[in-house]
Structure 1
Amino acid sequence: MILIDERARTLALGVEDLIDAGSAAAAYRGVDPVRGRLEARVREAWVGSARAAVPLRAELDWRGFRIALDGCADVLRDGPRGTRLETLRFVPDEDEATSAARAVERAGFASLLLALGGARVAGASAVALSLIGAPARRTRVSVAPEAWAAKLDERIERIARSAELEAARGSARRELAPAFPFASVRPVQAELLREVDGAAASGLTLLCSAPTGVGKTAAALHPFLAHALRDDRRVFFVTSKTSQQELALETLRSMLPPGCGALAVQISAKDRVCPQAELGCAEGRCPWQRGFAERLAATGLADALADEGVLSAERIAERASHHELCPFETSLALAMRASAVVCDFNYVFDPRVYLRRFFDASDGRDLLIVDEAHNLAERAQGYFSPELELARLDSLAERCSALPERAYRRAGDLLREVSAHCRGIALRLAEERPDDAPWVEAPARGFWEPIEEAACAALLETQTQAASESCRPDGLAPAREGRDRRLRDPLRSALALVREFAHGCESDDPERFAALWSPDRAKRLCLDPAPWLGQRIRSFHSAVLMSATLAPLDFHARSLGVDSPSTVMLDLPSPFPRANRLVVAVDSVDTRFRVRSEHAAWIADLIARGVRTRRGNWLAFFPSFGFRDEVVAKLPPGEHRVLLQLAGMPIEPILAKLRANRSETLLVCAVHGGLLSEGVDYPGDTAIGVFVVGPALPKVERERELVRAFFDAELESGFDHAYLLPGLARAVQSAGRVLRSADDVAAIVLVDRRFCEPRYRDRLPGWIRDDLVQASDPVPALEAFWLRCGQASGDSPSSGA
């Protein structure tokens, strides 16, 4: 870290700072723990009896400044002619050329520090040590002190210029007063603004439940951004939905116009912004990544983009591609100098892909906003629940074993061994247990401990092998797969998953996990991710966790790991006129799985009669596609157009039909938790009413039952944690789609008697709970509501079934 004191005329820095030389893309040198263990073992064997990790320090005068320069000699070998110095690097490495160049400079500057300290330097070299058993490679490095002193002078000059420029930028940022993005502040927004500002000032966590459409994004971002600009902090705005990221960027653009001196950056998934046909970063085969830091600095792109104020991932990719620079690395480099970063949950919370350069050595100064926070606990549960598909491991093992290269054959042997072990457990449990798969049994740590390291070694070996190939073997080339159709390297993905699974089997907190075994898969299920979520959230100076579906707040505080005295809870009322909404719960319908088919005809009838009460666009959200289709089949034919959301289909064609409709009744039938029920706005007449069919409880299955048992034992609230509250969160999201502004007039029909039961009703947010009307038939209430609003359709609804 570079420390400059202008008054005392002192500068303290390290050799790594000299190598980074004030670049816009200072190299991040984090390493994962498993690779770190491999490196330590290889280092120990190489060093032998020599001196290792010797700290070096020198003080010198430079243009009126007193410079304190710190470094480290990886290895010092004393001999009759003096001391020989070695710097070590470990291969394979994602950017071999940059790694080698940095090692040479570390050796050269370390030799200068030795000489300044009075040592007799007999020689220096940069040594590449292989983590996969290849011979060491040594590069001789000149120890001429005059040459390295000249380079030192040049690098300090660059650092001084960069520091001066950054000081000017910092001064400009601190003087910024970001404008609030709306002409006026709504009453609910004013309360949220005050609470967010207070949380930032006091270093607290704010858990906020606020209805949809009240402007939570602006009310959270504005005070946090003001604090970040004034105090040289950084705001992370994270959310699970791309649409919410776009809203955050739009909000930031109104606060940080081009040329303002501050920067906001969006970070998107690497494969989504990469223009290459094949991801070759891990093997060091991508020319856009080689020498990235130096080439980025040479183009001046970082400074040019910083002047634009707010940068979307697409804009960064466009400009970076023009210079043949990695768009993802460019976004990370820009984020290092940004005041705001917008990204997905996983870049903060996922242990596999979180942004290590920001969080491994966090100083606790950054600020965090989690939007759609009701989704975070479930997403995090997935982060910590690796699953092995045994047939996939078998298939990859077969492909690898058919190849002549040793690296592939060894990887195949490992995958085959893991698959056989997991399948063997399942076959044994099938004989021992009377119940159906999957079966629960603690993993055998004696088996999995060496597997983690073996998987890491296999990743390194296959990385080296792939780097030497002009094209990948059949079946091993990166391909788009999975539900999200993301570009993945199948072998690296499998090996990384095996390593993650093995690492989890050594957990120090086993009671929060369950290992599940079946003949076709093995899974390590996280029952409660709260401790890890809370630890990450507490690493920020202050955090705001917000959603329209955080009721009850104390439940979500526990689920997110922030149930502590430093958390403030805020439940905001709806600011919209109560006269503009109807919330009616139908107590004559039961959508529980075992009886829902008996009620399908009645649900179809009340929906059909309900939409007749006013012509326009209506929504209906169901607990499953299957039950949706069962109800739709019983709707009266020909009365109105029905638009069905199909699994995996884009939603824009449906939204376009809704926006264009002016004369007929359209009924969109979709499912809770889908793209149409969360993260999509239906302003004005885009949707005038919604049928929320059932409280959206998750399906009863083995994994949910394990979660239920865990929370029953810990908090005596297993049903609430496993089923009730996750389901209600989806139902409330569905209900909130039709009320987005003070001008919206809409009806919400909750179709299930459970919404009337205290256990369910009391856990609904206040704006629904306090206005809820109970009825066996919702149509009279709908007719009266539209008549009161002066918007009755004129159609005469038929009598009830």
Structure 2
Amino acid sequence: MSNLIKISVRNLVEFVLRTGDIDTSFMSMSRAVEGTKAHQKVQNSYGYEYQKEVTLKHNVYYDDFTIQLEGRADGILTLGDEIIVDEIKSTTKDLEDIKEDYNELHWAQAKCYGYIYCLQNNLDNIYIQLTYFHIESEERKIFKREYTKEDLEKFFLYLTDKYIEWASITFYWGGIRDKSIEEISFPFKNYRKGQRELAVATYKTIKEGKKLFAQAPTGIGKTMSTLFPSIKAIGEGTGTKIFYLTAKTITREVPIASTEILIRKGLRVKVIVITAKEKICANEEVKCNPRDCSFAKGHYDRVNEAIMDIFENEDLITRDTIVSYGLKHNVCPFEFSLDISLWADIIICDYNYVFNPQVYLKRFFENPNEDYIFLIDESHNLVDRSREMFSTEINKSSILGIRDIFKENYPPIYKALGKINSILNKVKDDLDIDKEYYQREEISDLYYPIKRVITVLEPWLMEEKKHSEYEKVLELYFNLTTFVKISELYDSHYVTYIKEYNKDIIFKLYCVDSSYLLREALERGRSSIFFSATLTPLDYHMELLGGKKDDYHIKLSSPFSRENLCLMVANSISTRYKDRERTYIDIVRHIETFIYAKKGNYFVFFPSYVYMTNVYEILMERNENLNIIIQDGNMSEIEREEFLLRFEEGNELIAFAVMGGIFSEGIDLTGEKLIGAIIVGVGLPQICFERNIIKDYFTYNLDEGFEYAYVYPGMNKVLQSAGRVIRSPEDRGAVLLIDDRYGTREYRALFPNEWLGAKNIRTDMEMKRILERFW
């Protein structure tokens, strides 16, 4: 039904009735941490008379369209002639302080459920019950009111009438959008080699509601090949929203540019870029409360007007657009952007907003199986990113760092923090930990004391907002709540990792294999398209990114002429750690031969900063006149931009950088801005305890531990680094791989098709002759 507008009961209530300030200085997280368990305890305390988690749907018909409301009542209780809608709210607030009018939004949501239930069951009256469940004491406080169907209908229609202005805008906008989608053609005269194939595969995958894993080299036009068919799917009613997900801020420029091209061709879609709170905050300091931020004060009184303004006047809503309208209406730009996203057709944002259990956009994912399309750019990055999303740690120093605050006036908090400290010390002593240790079994003795600290801290955080150490305590509180939430996910895919560092004890729940959690997150949408130039090998990425055996995969060849790339392999030099000292001079000679063959700008990529610095010093000593710049480990965004601005034709620049770092992917230096790259080593991640945990896990489960922990991630870094050289059909460039392992069958099997003509070189003279012929 093209004229159907869906909204959840919760979103309807919050949207229409919200007023007042943003205040995230402290809001109890216990409901998030313990809410599900609290609901289950209340629900399970009843017998057959209690029907739990009841899905309720209702359509409201207007002239041209229908609003479909959907939600889930916590319970429907039947006691004789009484039918009761039960809404459960978990809390740590003293039940004595909770009165009947404690939160009108709680009543509002339940009243909507009550009205829908009355309609569907021919009831003239119904009872609405709010059950407040105290998490620590497990006591309950219940409020119950009786309503007639007419009372509830009056309230319900008040809400929907308020919403109808927005619904009508959405509906009529949908018609304009769909007509423009129907009329728009692919924006370029011709498809590049492989581009049509990827677009067709994307369209078919979305139609069938499946996943696609696409290795598509630079130059195919991955963004347009995935975005265009996804937009067509929305126009046909197959999809409702596109989430274009990126790993880094810099890579958002490409989908923004692609949507601009389509908009110039006549497409009408609402596109929003979501920027992290820290990067878009209009306040001097990120403090989201009415005392410290004028934008937070009264935000909800003004935000609906701001949304209407921006929706009526803008299609492409970037960071700067949001800030501009935020200042105009005096609303928080970040919260404003999240609200606008509800009305957008395409949301460009970080991976976190779909996958991270702490920050994913719950407003979109309340109901399962929505027709969302997830486009996951540079998806090789999601392997390690997702491990961190689903992992968490606490450390002893953060516990002891705040403990003395409570010694005099808050002994229960002081004592509870001391308990965590004691258990951390005991674990260290019992396991006789020396520096680092891990085990597959969880150490659950820590969980209750952490939950206890969360509980006793909440009243303090409510009352002491002006305390000088408030932010420090709040940070620990959020860290502990995250720890508890992640602990509920702990299973055979996790290990408990303990590290002693500078007399501190770090206790980590480490998600070694996040594939099943990603798979669950992907179920929130209809279809997912994973694409990158470097999904090598494909089966490894499908395994770790939550793929299934029946998911689609495609491997495309480079659209550029092989003659444009001169690829050489120096496979007689070892760059292994034990051999580096004696091969520095060989590396330097190869660099000299490579860069002196033709004047221009070059990148030289290394596996580590130390290795890079040592080679840099020797090269400079022998070549004082070279224009060399070197990546610093702590560069600001401005410094990164300045670094890249040096790549201009005629600069004869030699840039030293680290593989897997900020300059090895996501940057375009076309034409003469970059004519060659040297890759020193095979990109293996630094050998460390955490990587060895991954190795042990995949050795045990798949007998491919070293490959999964080191070889495959390393080779992806190599491919990304080499991919900086040829960025357009006109580009010509040279790449030199230095490491003896590139001569082995194992590594040659990981070479993309366009690398199969690589030339092996043993001497600098040989390299010089090959480069002279090429240039």
Provide the rounded CA distance (Å) in 2 between the counterparts of 1:287 and 1:717: 55
- CA distance in 1: counterparts of 2:135 and 2:431, whole angstroms: 38
**% identical equivalent positions:** 23
Please report the RMSD computed on the Cα atoms of aligned residues, expressed in angstroms. Answer: 4.5
Q: Is the 8 A contact 2:56 2:113 kept in 1?
A: no
1:691 CA displacement: 0.7
1:60-209 alignment, distance < 5 Å: 89=89, 100-105=103-108, 150-177=154-181, 178-209=184-215
Specify which of 213, 228, 242 is matched with residue 249 of structure 2: 242
Aligned equivalent of 2:709, options 719, 722, 743: 722
- Alpha-carbon distance, 1:620 to partner: 0.5
Q: Which secondary structure does the structure 2 equivalent of 1:176 belong to?
A: helix
Structure 2 counterpart SS, 1:477? helix
Q: Distance in 2 between matches of 1:51 and 1:511?
A: 36
- Alpha-carbon distance between aligned partners in 1 of 2:588 and 2:85, rounded to the nearest angstrom: 81
User: What do residues 648-704 of structure 1 show as CA deviations (whole Å, max 9, x unaligned)?
Assistant: 113122212222x52x53211111111111211211111111110001101222222
1: CA distance between counterparts of 2:235 and 2:18?
19
Q: Any conservation in 2 of the 1:282–1:463 contact (CA below 8 Å)?
A: no
Shift in CA distance, 61/562, structure 1 to aligned 2, threshold 3 Å: closer
Q: Residue 778 of structure 1: CA displacement?
A: 5.0
1:583 and 2:567 matched: yes
Q: In the alignment, is residue 785 of structure 1 matched against residue 771 of structure 2?
A: yes
**1:474 alignment partner in structure 2:** 468
The match for 1:701 is 688
- SS in structure 1 at match of 2:330: coil
Distance 1:83 1:194 in 2: 53
Per-residue Cα deviation, 1:521-552 (whole angstroms, up to 9, x for no partner) = 12222221122223323443222111111122
Shift of 1:182: 3.5
Q: Closer, same or farther in 2 for the Cα pair 1:303/1:363, shift >3 Å?
A: farther
Shift of 1:475: 3.7
In the alignment, residue 168 of structure 1 is paired with which amino acid?
Answer: Y
3-state SS in 2 of match to 1:739? coil
Alpha-carbon separation, structure 2, partners of 1:281 and 1:544: 35
SS at match of 2:471: coil
1:429 aligned partner = 431
Q: Secondary structure at the match of 2:734?
A: strand
Instruction: Report if the CA contact (8 A) 1:452-1:500 is conserved.
Output: no
Deviates more, 1:574-583 or 1:317-326: 317-326
- 2:167 and 2:41 mapped to 1: Cα distance? 39
Assess, with a 3 A threshold, how the Cα gap between structure 1 residues 571 and 782 changes in structure 2: closer, same or farther.
Answer: farther
Mapped partners of 1:86, 1:759: distance in 2: 61
Q: Which amino acid aligns with 2:752?
A: P
State the partner residue of 1:593. 577
Letter in structure 2 aligned against 1:515:
Y
Q: What residue in structure 2 maps to residue 275 of structure 1? A: 282
Q: Distance in 1 between matches of 2:86 and 2:753?
A: 67
In structure 2, relative to structure 1, the CA distance for the partners of 1:537 and 1:779 (3 Å cut) is: farther
CA distance in 1, matches of 2:16, 2:400: 49
User: Tell me, which stretches of 5 or more residues in structure 1 are unaligned?
Assistant: 479-487, 790-801
Asked if the contact 1:263/1:307 (under 8 Å) is kept, the reply is no
Deviations 1:251-310 (A, max 9, x none): 11222459965212122222322223455559998775577556423x152453354112
Question: Does residue 334 of the first structure (1) align with residue 316 of the second (2)?
Answer: no
Aligned equivalents of 1:139, 1:287: Cα separation in 2: 36
- Which amino acid in the other structure matches residue 353 of structure 1? V
Amino acid aligned to 1:419: N
Worse-superposed segment, 414-423 or 670-679: 414-423
For residue 513 of structure 1, the aligned residue among 477, 495, 505 is 495
User: Tell me, which stretches of 5 or more residues in structure 2 are unaligned?
Assistant: 23-28
1:419 aligns with 2:437: no
State whether residues 613 and 779 of structure 1, in contact with CA within 8 Å, keep that contact through their aligned partners in structure 2: no
Distance 2:733 2:54 in 1: 70
1:37 is aligned to: 37
Aligned length: 747
CA distance in structure 2 between the partners assigned to 1:542 and 1:313 by the alignment: 27
> What residue number does 1:361 align with?
367
> For 1:384 and 1:536, how far apart are their aligned partners in 2?
12
How far apart are 1:411 and its partner, in Å? 4.7
2:114/2:128 contact within 8 Å kept: yes
Q: Which residue matches 1:658?
A: 647
Residues of 2 paired with 1:99 and 1:778: CA distance? 79
Measure, in 2, the Cα distance between the counterparts of 1:695 and 1:169: 52
Distance 1:426 1:581 in 2: 55
Deviations 1:201-234 (CA, angstroms, capped at 9, x unpaired): 2223211112123311111111112112321521
Seen in structure 2, the aligned counterparts of structure 1 residues 112 and 173 have a Cα distance that, compared at 3 Å, is closer
36-45 or 260-269, which deviates more: 36-45
**Equivalent residue number for residue 538 of structure 2:** 553
CA 1:654–1:579 in 2, change beyond 3 Å: closer, same or farther? same
- Counterpart for residue 739 of structure 1: 726
Match status 1:325 vs 2:327? no
Task: State how far apart, in whole Å, the 2-side matches of 1:54 and 1:220 are.
Answer: 37
The alignment partner of 2:488 has SS state of helix
Indicate conservation of the 8 Å contact 2:194/2:220, yes or no: yes
Structure 1 residue 517, shift from structure 2 partner: 4.5
The answer on whether the counterparts of 2:246 and 2:349 sit within 8 Å (CA) in structure 1 is yes
Alignment check: 8 A CA contact 1:107 1:141 kept: no
Which residue in 1 is equivalent to 2:396?
390
Name the TM-score, length of structure 2 as normaliser: 0.84
1:752 to 720, 739, 743: 739
TM-score by length of 1: 0.81
User: Separation in 2 of the partners of 1:343 and 1:393?
Assistant: 34
User: Which stretch shifts more, 316-325 or 372-381?
Assistant: 316-325
Of residues 644-653 and 14-23 in structure 1, the stretch that sits farther from structure 2 once superposed is 14-23
Q: Deviations over 1:740-779 (max 9, x none)?
A: 01111111000111112111121122222x1211111355
CA 1:67–1:427 in 2, change beyond 3 Å: closer, same or farther? closer
What amino acid maps onto 2:492 in structure 1? P
Q: Matches of 1:330 and 1:292 in 2, distance apart?
A: 9
Shift of 1:726: 0.4
- CA distance change for structure 1 residues 159 and 522 in 2, over 3 Å: closer, same or farther? closer
Q: Report if aligned partners of 2:454, 2:477 keep a CA contact under 8 Å in 1.
A: no
Tell me the distance in 2 between the aligned counterparts of 1:523 and 1:154. Answer: 50
Is the 2:246–2:377 Cα contact (8 Å) retained in structure 1? yes
Q: 2-side partners of 1:120 and 1:535: how far apart?
A: 40
Alpha-carbon distance between aligned partners in 2 of 1:577 and 1:201, rounded to the nearest angstrom:
33
Q: Is the 8 A contact 2:669 2:724 kept in 1?
A: yes
Q: Give the alignment partner of residue 547 of structure 2, picking from 550, 557, 562.
A: 562
Matched residues in 2 for 1:530 and 1:58: separation? 33
Q: 1:655 to 1:786 in 2, by over 3 A?
A: farther
The 5 A counterparts of 1:517-666 are 517-518=499-500, 520-565=505-550, 567-635=551-619, 636-649=622-635, 650-659=639-648, 661-662=649-650, 664-666=651-653
Q: Which residue of 2 aligns with 1:484?
A: none
2: CA distance, partners of 1:554 / 1:456: 42
2:74/2:88 contact within 8 Å kept = no
Which of 677, 691, 708 is matched with 2:664 structurally? 677
Deviation (angstroms), 1:358: 2.0
Q: Aligned partners of 2:13 and 2:496: how far apart in 1? A: 46
Distance in 2 of aligned mates of 1:631 and 1:12: 60
Give distance in 2, aligned partners of 1:202 and 1:761.
35
CA, structure 1 residues 605+315, in 2 after alignment: closer, same or farther (shift >3 Å)? same
Do the aligned partners of 2:6 and 2:67 also contact (CA within 8 Å) in 1?
A: yes
Q: CA deviation at 1:154?
A: 3.6
Shift of 1:132: 6.9
